[in-house]
Structure 1
């Protein structure tokens, strides 16, 4: 995926930083074209170590407020998860001191978005249940504050304060880019503030992946086991229900079974899911502009329509 945030390094540049980190030469190098934000390279060293180099956008590229310093988030969350769970995540091998890039273990397997067309419903259920089980482990990691704490963003004592701040940042991002939303900033914020008591039913800040789209889930196509979960750069401490929204899993019974929850959602949970869906589609609308994605008009129009629908739904809850 082409995006203004994906910086292309020359082979000479990659050779230099790899030599600095590992004091070895590169046997093979291939750019990984998936993903929407960082550039990434598949590297094989002369000692046989295969790894991935991830490179952050240049500092002069304007990104969303929630995307500032997120490479630091990814590194610290990967290290935390490896120390606290048995979730299959890549090992961090080397980190640039300024978080301009880092090297991590290469994960074998096929991304779920590529494998899904070849799966029957039973196979997809099996994989989804595994993913739910791993997500439950991720969500078991707690903090004493809410928010994007790893990237040194503001920290909050309540989930409502953290979530309202997230919406306020989105509004500022939209204003900066002169993006017209189908709802005024005042109305959007008022709708969210009105739901503060429901947001504050979330009393414990729990680690949320917040980007469980299928391209970040790697599968052994023979055994149908998950070999790795990647891209923790948007992780935060908040409500685990966000992983249901950002994992497209509201109707995924296997995922919910792995989480250990009942199929149905309560009225308060439906309200929370709607709030998170609103945030999700707002991000879709803004990301297309900030990353200067080509031929994105149809996706944006769909997101705008979903936003209108979810706002109306939330008003009725």
Structure 2
């Protein structure tokens, strides 16, 4: 791998050191130090495409696209794209090289929930989300995948793809219940008429903060972004939670409807989708460790809570 990394970064400089970064479950990521002392981040997509969910193909290309859109928006705090290699000749998969961000991941910062630094980081997260959602796409859907002129059609297709993935890998999901609530509530998706850029995965591991002040310094991993409903990001920032963000996130974001019947229904639909993703991916990725079964149980329980809420809303 060192030879491939050396070749990838050669246009930027001579590789002096490479450190494999852990924490992600999709791409393989290295922190590379060049001979002149500059540090960059090299991210490579999985080579086993048969272990990917349908929407996960070409995710690094989507990430590069989002970073490109953010290049003229410094308030989005995203790294700069330095190089891309989508030729799949140096490596059998796509590669993306970006600038190295300062700070530490919020998940590793050690702040308590009532720590003022947590509040500052969450307020900054809300502000970043509001700015991100100001970017409008040409249609609804994945930047490098299927798109549609309506959010109803696009989101329905996302759910259908996930149910197909579940069937492909024999993952037991309540498909009939999912289809029933989709049929019952599809009309509320028509309330979304602007395809905003949605990060979808802005949890604490993808936020970089100043460990002393809690100031938000960087935002990474928009590989799973789509053009859609901004409310989906209020689920993505806390995948296992039940509240649409924290008071600090909402304060940083500004006015947003989370209480109307339409908003509450859409939030539950997005929780349902995210739970399906987390349930299904366990099998093709062959996740291992003591954490897997408790995780599966928690995600399954959260899915059924969302489905129950949707039945009640119906």
TM-score scaled by structure 2? Answer: 0.91
Name 2:150's counterpart in structure 1.
Answer: 158
| 1:130-279 aligned within 5 A | 130-148=124-142, 150-151=143-144, 153-181=145-173, 183=174, 185-248=175-238, 250-261=244-255, 265-279=259-273
Name 1:111's counterpart in structure 2.
Answer: 105
SS in 2 for 1:201: coil
Name 1:7's counterpart in structure 2.
Answer: none
Q: Does 1:42 align with 2:31?
A: yes
SS in 2 for 1:195: helix
Name 2:312's counterpart in structure 1.
Answer: 316
CA shift digits 1:197-232 (9 cap, x unpaired):
111101111000000110000001123211110001
8 A Cα contact 1:85 1:137, kept in partner? no
Q: CA deviation at 1:16?
A: 2.5
CA shift digits 1:103-143 (9 cap, x unpaired):
10011111011114456443212211111011100000012
Cα–Cα, structure 1 residues 211 and 222, in superposed 2: closer, same or farther, change >3 Å?
A: same
Separation of aligned partners in 2, 1:97 and 1:201: 37
Name 2:52's counterpart in structure 1.
Answer: 63
Separation of aligned partners in 1, 2:154 and 2:178: 16
Cα–Cα, structure 1 residues 12 and 179, in superposed 2: closer, same or farther, change >3 Å?
A: same
8 A Cα contact 2:63 2:223, kept in partner? yes
SS in 2 for 1:36: coil
Equivalent pairs counted in the alignment come to 302
Q: Does 1:86 align with 2:75?
A: yes
Name 1:75's counterpart in structure 2.
Answer: 64
Structure 2 stretches lacking a partner, 5+ long: 88-92
Let me know the Cα RMSD of the aligned residues.
1.7
Separation of aligned partners in 2, 1:229 and 1:262: 22
8 A Cα contact 2:29 2:44, kept in partner? yes
8 A Cα contact 1:141 1:207, kept in partner? yes
Structure 1, 126-135 or 108-117: larger mean CA deviation: 108-117
8 A Cα contact 1:256 1:263, kept in partner? no
Q: CA deviation at 1:59?
A: 5.0
8 A Cα contact 1:253 1:263, kept in partner? no
8 A Cα contact 2:237 2:245, kept in partner? no
Name 1:4's counterpart in structure 2.
Answer: none
8 A Cα contact 1:129 1:258, kept in partner? yes
CA shift digits 1:166-206 (9 cap, x unpaired):
0000000001101111x2x3432231122121111011110
Q: CA deviation at 1:86?
A: 2.4
8 A Cα contact 2:18 2:33, kept in partner? yes
